[in-house]
Structure 1
Amino acid sequence: MPTVSDTLKNEHSDTIDFLAAEFDSETQTTDARSKAKDEYLTVPSDLIANLVLSSALGRNGRRLLKKGGPQVVILRVPTAAWVEPVSRAANRLSGYKAMILLAKTDQRRYEETVQAKVAHAFDRRVPVIAVSQNPDTYLPQMVCGAADLFVSVTAPAPRVMSKAIAVWCGSSRVVGLKAEDLSGLDLPDLVSCLRPGSTPDICIERLRRAACSRAVIRIHDDTPRLEDLHGYGRARDWALSLIDDVARVRRSELSPDALESGVFFGIPGTGKSTLARAAAKSAKLPLIQATVADFFAQGAGFLDSVIKQTNTWFDSLQAAAPCVGFLDELDALPNRATLSNRGADWWQPVITNFLVRIDQARASKSGIILLAATNHIERVDRALLRPGRFDRQFEILPPDEQGLIAILRLHLGSDLKNEDLTPVARLGQGATGAIAAGWIRAARQRARFAGRSLILEDLLAEVAPADLRPLEQVRGVAIHEAGHAIVAHRLGIPVLGATIMATQSASGSTRLRIAELTPTRAALEAQVMAALAGRCSDIILGQGASAGAVCDLRDATRIITAVHAQYGLGATISYMAPQDDVSYILAADPKLRAAVERDLQRLMVQTKGLVEANRASILALAEELLAKRSISGDEVALIASANPEAERLCDNL
């Protein structure tokens, strides 16, 4: 285990006495001291550390360090690899008369021993220099609290690294080194690029190659660039602006603490992880990925082990900074508000430590961008989502038609280059990017099995397999979905598309855009009528009511119950329970149940009137669905506009 300057192990002598014996004794000649002080020029790690420390301290800091006397100086370094070289550089600046505390891991268990050492140093008027990549976590509190000077020693800027290359190569001037040439490089990476006999240009080229390899760490070669992704809406726009901010930080036009962090959430398969990887790739930043499960799997799984693995991950972010830290399945870190007492006893330290480490990472101003993904944003602890931690949250929805076409093009590459993919996107409406990628893999396998190149029919066969249902059943589904689409359109609810393609959970579907955050009762009743329109079409135009409308009835009941029991838009303004508890409150309150039923029956009558008035439009749309299987919202509008009389009848309801 790393020690505190190796002074806390019994086999080593006291650091203060050791340094005094080595450098303050009369037996040490001036030449020996000079040789010891200049030796760092031949060791790349010490050369770089010396220049970086000198830059971080500034003139006043260097003067304070040389002054000596009983004082405590804390140096926060980027990673554990910097601890020893920076401590040697600090010792040189102090004239080799300081007590050095090295803390690469948690040393707070040695609180009493360190306290005695510090007191002894002060008695001898010797300064104490503590060096750690995470002083708040790894140094004893008495050292942090007694600090006279706290300095953050950051990774070298291009100017400092250029000077190191110049000194190493014996050159008067080095030009051409940029911030991106150093992105994500730790001290060992920098040292490996400074080799005997190298020229400045060779050193810079090595740095660029090293930064390039780090820029794709844990990113597969086929990860697309952010600019090539489609269907992500506001999340992609934010990520693009984040990349612009990274570029401004590299040009010193923006402070690193201005970089935001964010969470992507939505149903599985919408490409949340791909978006995070693409953002890192386009920003040319290292991507350090983890899950809460990793913190368990990489250690013993006990409480202290999980916390240590969490700290190790955050330390790795600091090591690679500037970088992107991506935590997948964020909801695996539980919400403290929903924990049982027993669960809280175990998880509280883990969550608290995680929050503290996020704060430290953001406060370090080292360019760490935190991204996360979850399928269940409602399960995430609210403390994680506040500004200063994960500042922004973006829902990733299934792509629209044009977005799905772009996703298909991306995964197809050079295949089907001249084919129109609109029919594929229409048939596959509502599909996620992951589903689209699965279609293409299966279509290519189909083509390989047939011994030929991929053709459009292969892809269509995967997106829309042959419908084995009886024709009358399919016609009934078409009438049902056409009723939903036409009535919703007449009521002013945007229709995104409709399909009669069966899934595991439905015989067909109609996609609507419900955008109102604070709907009126009229808007809510319009949603209910759109939901009831399928059943009404079954009764008036199809083969009669069936059990296929169960989901529609559930949604309609929830909305009307919310009108009376949550929204205060019924006869009372009492808030009774959330919408998820509809069945409970309806069973417990006969009067509420009767009021909901009256409203549903009234809206059912109105919806039947709309279906009767739009009979021609619904039947025409049903025929279109039978022919194409899927149609867009624009096609729904075109068919509806072909019957102006229906619009007038609808207006007079």
Structure 2
Amino acid sequence: MNDDKEPQGNPWIKSALIWAGVLVALLMVVTMFEGRSAGTVGTGIAYSDFRAKVQDNQVKEVAVAPDRITGVLANNQKFSTVPVNDPGLTTLLDDYGVKYSGQAEEQPSVWMILIYQSLPFLLILGIAFFVLRQMQKGGGASGAMGFGKSKAKLLTEKSGRVTFDDVAGIDEAREELQEIVEFLKDPGKFARLGGKIPKGALLVGSPGTGKTLLARAIAGEAGVPFFTISGSDFVEMFVGVGASRVRDMFEQAKKNAPCIVFIDEIDAVGRHRGAGLGNGNDEREQTLNQLLVEMDGFEANEGIIIIAATNRPDVLDPALLRPGRFDRQVVVPRPDIDGRVKILEVHMKKVPLAPDVDGRTIARGTPGFSGADLANLVNEAALMAARRGKRLVAMSEFEAAKDKVMMGAERRSMVMTEDEKKMTAYHEAGHAIVAVHEPASDPIHKATIIPRGRALGMVMRLPERDSYSYHRDKMYANLAVSMGGRVAEELIFGHDKVSSGASSDIQYATRLARDMVTQWGMSDKLGPLQYEEQQGETFLGYSQSQRVHMSNETAKAIDQEIRSIVETGYGRATDLLKKHETQLHLLANALLEYETLSGDEIKTLLDKGEITREDGTKIKPSSIPAVGTSIPRSGRRKGPFGDAAPQGA
């Protein structure tokens, strides 16, 4: 933090002006000396020419000095020459009637001597002062000598003012922080009842949920100085630098109180102490100790509110989380469907929309999206509309952008044989048919055999509403849907032609069955007991787990139950596809012909046997295809649920 009131401007321009001033001064001094000499010397000639001119009566008068002879020619032109050892010079001048006089050696003035001798020292001192000034400019942390200064920056409205109107979808978190703003504006309202301003608030949430946006909104609403810094800015290679920066940050904050200090990613400096890494005097622990003392030590920091953000609250030191330091822990969750609608409305204000755009439909199709994900979705839709040369962003662009974000870009350049396309179409049709006939399954949103990302095809299902827990019937339905693609391949192409495309289906089904048995107590044989415990945070959608101590018999029983549950889903998928084999052929042919079908089109196709699209095109594929006899084993196909996983699974 920098409290100095220095003039604003480009530092490179200031440096250039200073150096230009130094060069101009040097040029002036040199010019002064040269001009002085030039004014007294005149035109230089050789001594032999001087003697010749005397003998030719061309010299009017001369002045003889120990080191130089100057004079005037007959034509009044001044000249000068350097004398040599010539004892007969005066005799020569007398013989030819030249007027001559002696001249003492010119001595510079005292001031000129002082300037001449002190100029190098003044120049060295000026350069040294300028270098040191640049190294610790403003006493800040940008200079080499300012590494102990805080790197916190004062947030101004120049960077774009954000208010609570720009924060949507996280109403509870916004209300918690809005109260802090009201306290800063009118502390007497709370002080009358004995309330004290909170010293700190910790924002906890997944990446992209809007923690930093909330902090900027506080800055925009409060009307008080707002300093922002990252936790990693405290930690340096040198021991004690981080603690010095913490002290400097709070000193500057006291000068600007009441104010707010926002520390982003505080887990970089606030991790557990004494974890066995390093010793008690390492840099990070000293920095944390200084932060703890400054936040709640012997010296009170009235009017300074600390707001910190992290997505790893489990690694923070307990002393940092206690009341008196962080009085409030505000959870910033991923938004629900209503929150997503509000977030989309905020971002859609910045783009021109077509009349057919429905924010709730988009929100329903994006479960689990954070605020940053939704902002990216709107931006992708706008970019797609611009590429297509449109003036308005229509619903088709939002659907295409959603597919691109969730499933990856289309790979239409990928060359697939007809047999591979047919295998993919039946695989996806198997997922879709089982999903349609499983009552507890989420409805189908879209089915496609266009390769996207690493998937050769995909069936996307969307829940009717946000789900915060799963029921047993839905889990068994999801298991059956995940096995639908594998079962369809086996029924249509035979046991020997089953492909590796169901690898992600099997992976999902095994993981779901394991959680049902070991964590959720959904095995009648093993009972409602926990056999595995979570280890650490979720990483890339997978949570590490470790089995608790158990006997070999129990471990064997767990494996048997997992296999039994997966095989139950496999059996349910087999029964449904055998019962509705005609619909399987119908849907597979439709996918082969039109590549992508919406959920409503699939439902209409299965009910009426044909579809009439918006452009009047009728889809009426044949129900029984001519299956080739030489269908090769297809490549690995991935997708949600092995190309049909429900969102949020």
TM-score by length of 2: 0.50
CA distance in 1, matches of 2:261, 2:558: 49
CA distance in 1, matches of 2:337, 2:587: 19
Deviations 1:293-315 (A, max 9, x none): 2224xxx6422111010122223
Residue matched to 2:206: 267
Report the Cα offset of residue 332 of structure 1.
0.9
- Give the match's secondary structure for 2:519: helix
Structure 1 residues 586 and 576: CA distance shift in structure 2, 3 A: closer
Report the Cα offset of residue 260 of structure 1.
6.3
Q: Does 1:330 align with 2:266?
A: yes
Report the Cα offset of residue 383 of structure 1.
2.6
Across the aligned residues of Structure 1 and Structure 2, the Cα RMSD in angstroms comes to 5.0
Matches within 5 A, 1:250-261: 251=189, 253=192, 257-259=196-198, 261=200
CA distance in 1, matches of 2:383, 2:243: 45
Given that residues 263 and 307 in structure 2 are in contact (C-alpha distance below 8 angstroms), is that contact kept between their aligned partners in structure 1?
yes
Residue matched to 1:351: 288
Of 163, 178, 183, 1:240 maps to 178
- Give the match's secondary structure for 2:202: strand
Of 553, 562, 580, 1:600 maps to 562
Structure 1 residues 591 and 343: CA distance shift in structure 2, 3 A: farther
CA distance in 2, matches of 1:571, 1:295: 51
CA distance in 2, matches of 1:280, 1:578: 38
Given that residues 292 and 333 in structure 1 are in contact (C-alpha distance below 8 angstroms), is that contact kept between their aligned partners in structure 2?
yes
CA distance in 2, matches of 1:538, 1:313: 60
- Give the match's secondary structure for 2:234: helix
CA distance in 2, matches of 1:621, 1:248: 65
Structure 1 residues 452 and 384: CA distance shift in structure 2, 3 A: same
Could you tell me which amino acid in structure 2 is paired with residue 238 of structure 1? Answer: E
Residue matched to 1:230: 168
Of 511, 517, 522, 1:560 maps to 517
Q: Does 1:277 align with 2:233?
A: no
Structure 1 residues 255 and 282: CA distance shift in structure 2, 3 A: farther
Matches within 5 A, 1:150-189: none
Given that residues 519 and 529 in structure 2 are in contact (C-alpha distance below 8 angstroms), is that contact kept between their aligned partners in structure 1?
no
Residue matched to 1:421: 358
Of 300, 309, 324, 1:388 maps to 324
Deviations 1:116-169 (A, max 9, x none): xxxxxxxxxxxxxxxxxxxxxxxxxxxxxxxxxxxxxxxxxxxxxxxxxxxxxx
Could you tell me which amino acid in structure 2 is paired with residue 331 of structure 1? Answer: D
Could you tell me which amino acid in structure 1 is paired with residue 286 of structure 2? Answer: P
Report the Cα offset of residue 602 of structure 1.
3.9
Bigger CA radius of gyration:
2
Residue matched to 2:368: 430
Q: Does 1:364 align with 2:301?
A: yes
- Give the match's secondary structure for 1:369: strand
CA distance in 1, matches of 2:432, 2:281: 51
Residue matched to 1:85: none
CA distance in 2, matches of 1:443, 1:480: 29
Of 478, 483, 504, 1:548 maps to 504
- Give the match's secondary structure for 1:596: helix
Given that residues 427 and 464 in structure 1 are in contact (C-alpha distance below 8 angstroms), is that contact kept between their aligned partners in structure 2?
no
Residue range with higher mean Cα deviation, 268-277 or 429-438 = 429-438
Given that residues 367 and 466 in structure 2 are in contact (C-alpha distance below 8 angstroms), is that contact kept between their aligned partners in structure 1?
no
Structure 1 residues 514 and 409: CA distance shift in structure 2, 3 A: closer
Could you tell me which amino acid in structure 1 is paired with residue 227 of structure 2? Answer: I
CA distance in 2, matches of 1:236, 1:593: 47
Could you tell me which amino acid in structure 2 is paired with residue 597 of structure 1? Answer: D
Residue matched to 2:339: 403
Residue matched to 1:286: 225
Report the Cα offset of residue 370 of structure 1.
2.2
Given that residues 335 and 382 in structure 1 are in contact (C-alpha distance below 8 angstroms), is that contact kept between their aligned partners in structure 2?
no
Q: Does 1:537 align with 2:484?
A: yes
CA distance in 2, matches of 1:254, 1:505: 61
Could you tell me which amino acid in structure 2 is paired with residue 281 of structure 1? Answer: G
Matches within 5 A, 1:291-306: 291-296=230-235, 301-306=237-242
- Give the match's secondary structure for 2:227: strand
Report the Cα offset of residue 536 of structure 1.
3.7
Given that residues 532 and 546 in structure 2 are in contact (C-alpha distance below 8 angstroms), is that contact kept between their aligned partners in structure 1?
no
Report the Cα offset of residue 276 of structure 1.
1.6
Deviations 1:386-432 (A, max 9, x none): 22322333443333344333323322335335632335444544333
Given that residues 532 and 604 in structure 1 are in contact (C-alpha distance below 8 angstroms), is that contact kept between their aligned partners in structure 2?
yes
Structure with the largest fraction of helix: 1
- Give the match's secondary structure for 1:257: coil
Percent sequence identity is 22
Report the Cα offset of residue 337 of structure 1.
5.7
Given that residues 483 and 570 in structure 2 are in contact (C-alpha distance below 8 angstroms), is that contact kept between their aligned partners in structure 1?
yes
Report the Cα offset of residue 575 of structure 1.
7.0
CA distance in 1, matches of 2:426, 2:171: 35
- Count of residue pairs brought into register by the alignment: 404
Could you tell me which amino acid in structure 1 is paired with residue 562 of structure 2? Answer: L
Given that residues 524 and 559 in structure 1 are in contact (C-alpha distance below 8 angstroms), is that contact kept between their aligned partners in structure 2?
no
Of 235, 250, 253, 1:314 maps to 250
Given that residues 261 and 306 in structure 2 are in contact (C-alpha distance below 8 angstroms), is that contact kept between their aligned partners in structure 1?
yes
More RCO (CA 8 Å, sep 6+): 2
Structure 1 residues 415 and 524: CA distance shift in structure 2, 3 A: closer
Could you tell me which amino acid in structure 2 is paired with residue 257 of structure 1? Answer: K
Given that residues 261 and 390 in structure 1 are in contact (C-alpha distance below 8 angstroms), is that contact kept between their aligned partners in structure 2?
yes
Report the Cα offset of residue 249 of structure 1.
1.6
CA distance in 2, matches of 1:630, 1:399: 27
- Give the match's secondary structure for 1:306: helix
Given that residues 427 and 499 in structure 1 are in contact (C-alpha distance below 8 angstroms), is that contact kept between their aligned partners in structure 2?
no
Report the Cα offset of residue 291 of structure 1.
1.1
Structure 1 residues 500 and 564: CA distance shift in structure 2, 3 A: same
Structure 1 residues 569 and 271: CA distance shift in structure 2, 3 A: farther
Structure 1 residues 455 and 319: CA distance shift in structure 2, 3 A: same
Given that residues 563 and 569 in structure 1 are in contact (C-alpha distance below 8 angstroms), is that contact kept between their aligned partners in structure 2?
no
CA distance in 1, matches of 2:387, 2:336: 31
TM-score by length of 1: 0.50
CA distance in 1, matches of 2:245, 2:309: 20
Structure 1 residues 316 and 418: CA distance shift in structure 2, 3 A: farther
CA distance in 2, matches of 1:499, 1:314: 55
Q: Which 5+ residue runs of structure 2 have no aligned equivalent?
A: 1-138, 140-152, 413-420, 491-497, 537-542, 608-649
Matches within 5 A, 1:372-521: 372-417=308-353, 419=355, 420-422=357-359, 423-446=361-384, 453-456=391-394, 457-465=396-404, 467-468=410-411, 473=424, 476-477=427-428, 480=431, 489=440, 515=468
Structure 1 residues 232 and 313: CA distance shift in structure 2, 3 A: same
Report the Cα offset of residue 468 of structure 1.
4.3
Given that residues 224 and 258 in structure 2 are in contact (C-alpha distance below 8 angstroms), is that contact kept between their aligned partners in structure 1?
yes
CA distance in 1, matches of 2:440, 2:220: 42
CA distance in 2, matches of 1:351, 1:621: 62
Deviations 1:311-364 (A, max 9, x none): 222233333332222111122125326732415541332222212222249953
- Give the match's secondary structure for 1:269: coil
